[in-house]
Amino acid sequence: MIIKSLYHFLARKIQSILNNQQLFVFWTTLAFYFFILFFNPNNKILLLFLALLFIFYYLYFKKFSLALFLFYIISIIFLVGKTYFIEIIPKAFVKSRLYPQGRMSALIITPNDIISFLMLLLILKKLFLKKLKLPKGKNFYLLILYYVWLFISLLVNPTTSVFFIMFLQNISILVFILFKINFIDKKALPLSLALIKAIIVFEGSLVLMQFIKKSPLGSSIELSMIPAFGSGIDENPFFYRPVGTFHHANELANFSLPFVLILFSFLYNKKLKDNSSILLTSILLGVIIIILTASRAVWLSLFLSLLLLVFIIEKKFGYHLNLKKINLKYLILILITIAIISLPVLPWRIGKSFYLFEEKGGAFTRKQLIKESISLIKKYPLFGVGYGQNIQASFKQNLTGIMSYFPEAVHNAFLIVASESGLPALLLFISIFLFESKKLILAIKKEKEYAKIIPVGLLVAKVSLIINMFFNPFNNLGLFIFINYLFLNG
């Protein structure tokens, strides 16, 4: 009798998931991520399983382009693939024990690159049939001009084919834009949101497991080149900062932050038809990612962005959290969980920050990196030193400087753009952010009632990415554009 009741209960649950596309996409994607994590496939088997998932989605949705679009989003956290290692600075010139092989980098052909190529084929077919639609407005053409300038910078500077391939990977966001506009309608928004929640829940769960183990789990989808932490006086050598499936803890935090802010903004929507438990769990695990990765820049960005989000929605529009749709007991449990997890992290990270400006602290090191980059900009103001070559150029101009013991890119994305591709590239870079933000402000004014919440969430998410770029080497333009076209058509 008990077995029969359990069978009927499970049958009803499965049927309800199959009948709800959002739940179907969330649970199947999350199950797929955990299967891959513990099955531990090599790169070829990973591609095979991804292909099977694509077929599964194609059979469910009966639409090839939609399945490919979802497939693209699912694959963005798989940063593994065919890898080509590149020596940036020979080991004989690097004094730090953290770089026993010298300063190495890697070109990785990821599953997302392959999917982008498949998308490109469909776009070229549209172009051949003269049915290709282009984005409206000047923003897309500013983006094209920015990438053209980066390409010219590569041509006028001595470089290797590796950096051309990295450049092509960088501009694949153009493929995503054209595919979204030509093949995907607004009905895909709830599915996109479901995938983002699945990604955050998976990465958050993986971060917790890595934190407990104090190391990566050893899965094939975790990167082998995990950076060392704790070498600075403002760091804790006994604290492991989890990286999820990303290259660096700061990179994972930078990726997660805008999505946490967007998900949080949905709690203000009284017309929300979403599953509040899944939404709250996604926000909880997103916040856990941000706490455990211990990125001070992201903490600052979260604090400022959250204040801005609450101010706009509550003070400007008079909307309040949709408590009727939220399980208060679950919300209290979430807050307690966040408080407990914060205890072993926040005190030491904040306490150690008082040593930030000491000679061996992070601020001192970053100041040296900034000086090297400014020197490059003064020498090569028009075309820079070439895409992806900030580290090599900084080393070559000062063999015994900061690059001899901390061979990393300057922790400021704006300086990286200017030093690698010139001041015109920086001007275009900033213009794109400003024009895209202006479009969102206009969208906020245009929309009525709770429809305003989506562009507000997007605007604040983008503000968080801009703040992060002042303190990190991550060029967030691709993520900025990806978010914009994921939730809106530009």
User: Has residue 143 been placed in a domain?
Assistant: yes
pLDDT in tens, 2-30: 665 555 555 565 666 666 788 899 999 99
The four Cα atoms 116, 122, 128, 130 give a dihedral, to 10 degrees, of -110
User: Has residue 390 been placed in a domain?
Assistant: no
Domain count across the chain: 1
pLDDT of residue 30: 96
pLDDT of residue 19: 64
pLDDT of residue 364: 75
Angle subtended by helix axes 477-487 and 423-446, to nearest 10: 20
Cα–Cα distance measured from residue 139 to residue 439, given in angstroms and rounded to the nearest whole number = 9
Using left for φ > 0, alpha for ψ between -120 and 50, and beta otherwise, residue 130 falls in left
Cα–Cα distance measured from residue 296 to residue 437, given in angstroms and rounded to the nearest whole number = 25
User: Has residue 386 been placed in a domain?
Assistant: no
pLDDT in tens, 149-158: 999 998 888 7
User: Has residue 378 been placed in a domain?
Assistant: no
User: Has residue 438 been placed in a domain?
Assistant: yes
Cα–Cα distance measured from residue 472 to residue 415, given in angstroms and rounded to the nearest whole number = 10
User: Has residue 287 been placed in a domain?
Assistant: yes
Contact 122, 65 (CB under 8 A): yes
pLDDT of residue 436: 85
pLDDT of residue 374: 92
Q: Which domain holds residue 115?
A: 25-360+399-487
Q: Nearest Cα to 474, choosing from 303, 252, 286?
A: 252
Cα–Cα distance measured from residue 142 to residue 146, given in angstroms and rounded to the nearest whole number = 6
User: Has residue 431 been placed in a domain?
Assistant: yes
List, for the chain, all residue ranges whose pLDDT scores fall below the cut of 50. Answer: 230, 234
pLDDT of residue 450: 61
Whole-prediction pTM? 0.90
pLDDT in tens, 274-290: 567 888 889 989 999 99
Cα–Cα distance measured from residue 317 to residue 20, given in angstroms and rounded to the nearest whole number = 32
User: Has residue 151 been placed in a domain?
Assistant: yes
